Amino acid sequence: MQNLWDDKDAAQCRNVLELRVYTSRLLGRDRTLVLHGGGNTSVKLKQKNLFGEDEDVLYIKGSGWDLETIEAAGFAPVQLDYLQRLAGLDALPDTQMVNQLATHMLQATAPAPSVETILHASLPYKFVDHTHADAVLAVTNTADGERRIREIYGDSVVVIPYVMPGFDLARLCAQEYPRQAGVHTVGMVLMNHGIFSFGATARESYERMIDLVGRAEDYLKRQAAWDVPQQGIRAARVDMLRQAQLRRSLSAAAGAPMIMATHADDEALAFAQRSDVGTLSQQGPITPDHIIRTKRVPMLGNDVDAYARAYRAYFDAHAPHAKEPKAMLDPAPRMVLDPEFGLTAAGKSAKDAAIVAELYRHSMQVMQRAQALGGYQALPQRELFEVEYWDLEQAKLRKGGKPPPFAGEIALITGAASGIGKACVDALLARGAAVIGLDINPAVETIYRRQEFLGLRCDLTDEGAIQSALERAVIAYGGVDMLVLNAGIFAASRKIFELPTEEWRRVMAINLDANLFLLRACHPLLKLAPKGGRVVVIGSKNVPAPGPGAAAYSASKAALNQLARVAALEWGADGIRINSLHPNAVFDTGIWTEEVLAQRAKHYGLSVEEYKTNNVLKTEVRSRDVAELAAEMCGPLFAKTTAAQVPVDGGNERVI
């Protein structure tokens, strides 16, 4: 454990709450302590109310905030004396507890307080820190975990048996802390859950956490249970179509498209290739806090139907014993382990899939250390079921709102670094899709830094490069559902008798041949799209109305248009629809500089503004206009349309 406290940084804090923010962020920066909203921190303060009276207030991390990035606004202020009275009740249903917490906050705009608010309030310390430290979980998730915890910590911590988070846990801690605590007590271990530290100052509570977790790490090292072996790993064999088929099956089980990211690195392969992976991985998560995102256990192999049947059996076995009727969550796995490709993580978005993968990577470390320590042992299935189908978690799912239209879907866009292509990236990202952008311009790799976008430099005239790009796309997201063929070039204006053969061939290679290569390579993936494949071809006004001096461009776009029509005929039986857009005079692209615009406008005896709106509607057509319609063509409004050709040109007299 590394102590990240810095006196200079701490000195910048203007008050106690800012110090609480500072040390919370220090904890959040260490991924072996907390992950993606896990853990929580609090501070007890005395402040004046509207009557000028002193009032004791608990500021606790609010729901939806991550410790790594939390701000003062992320802490919910709740009346401390009322919380302490609640801790003395004999019983309090969790849904009623949440209502009591909300109605006794002192700021209406604050986030919902953590479900562990009453627990924090019952501890007699100004600062309280709570993490799900990997090292502590590795010790507690063994058959004799409690004995080992007491061996490590002695009377430094209070030890609490596992109880599901909520009022019952808070009440038990309120009873057990004064009974077990002594003069040396600086923390509390919740078996199979996590660890608390306390202090009179932010620094004291933080440094006690670092010390306590460091002791667990040292214990694992002394017991030869720290280093996870990765020798003798067989090389990964990732089959693109097999992964796309797996994603389709997984999406069918989930009832909605899913993003599926494959991780074939040494760490993932070493775990998936363990001889005991079936026993190790099928017991349950290292902490119930992970179960909502990762499901109870990962799937082994690729039989989604068998996994779904087992999941339904798990539900049927435990649902009759639940306090209230439960609606079953979708039976699709969120993690897949296979010795061929390592691990695959699934989610309703690329971000969700990335979170699942990171959570399970930590789980792999903890499971293997616990196994080396004496044998990994997760909580009983009954306890896991109660958390997975916890009323509070189901309420969160119901409040989740309507997902974006392309949630869980994947789009591939060519010519994505600028102009219409980049506008298509923006339009599809805004609708919830994960997007792969291809471009010969290396700038495509860095136009966005986010989980939902993968930019790849690719020469589309190279069939090998296209295949490599598709393989990377499938590894990143699981398949291709939507294809936008946008890349193309417009050569210099030349009469036919002046047109060099090399230039003709270059235009054809990029505007026509490359699109044939990509359509052909994407067809097997588009067939596996959960909602059916969709292709949008960015054509040109020159298809219905060619102009002089543009023979190569006009012919290549007309040929591409004909190719799209034939593909629509051939691929309709595969559930793939193909539609074309024919834009004209889209000037907000890289080739249309102010100087070029001025020259062209002058050539026609028009002002720049008149030139830009030289169409029937007298309106300017922008890249975004084309992109928005391209995105809509991939959506439900065009669900029963294929082989359509739609102009986006403000009305062109020659076309009309």
Q: Which residues are annotated as catalytic?
A: 553
Dist. CA 47–CA 355, nearest whole Å: 38
Dist. CA 275–CA 163, nearest whole Å: 32
For residues 392 and 114, the answer to whether their CB atoms sit within 8 Å is no
> 619 is written with which tokens?
């309106």
Residue 167 CA, chain-centre distance (Å), reads 30
For residue 253, which of 324, 336, 358, 338 has the smallest C-alpha distance?
A: 336
Paired residues of 113 in beta bridges: 62
Paired residues of 77 in beta bridges: 59
Distance between start and end Cα atoms, the chain: 72
Instruction: List phi, psi (to 5°) of 33.
Output: -105, -50
For residue 634, which of 558, 562, 529 has the smallest C-alpha distance?
A: 529
User: What amino acid is encoded at 575 in this protein?
Assistant: G
What CA–CA distances, in Å, run from 114 to 117, 279, 293, 305, 614?
Answer: 5, 34, 18, 37, 59
For residue 584, which of 635, 632, 619 has the smallest C-alpha distance?
A: 619
For residues 532 and 500, the answer to whether their CB atoms sit within 8 Å is no
Three-state DSSP class for 644?
Answer: coil
Using alpha carbons only, how large is the chain's radius of gyration in Å? 30
Starting at the edge strand that comes first in sequence, how are the strands of the sheet with 335-338 ordered? 259-263, 342-347, 335-338, 299-300
Residue 605 CA, chain-centre distance (Å), reads 53
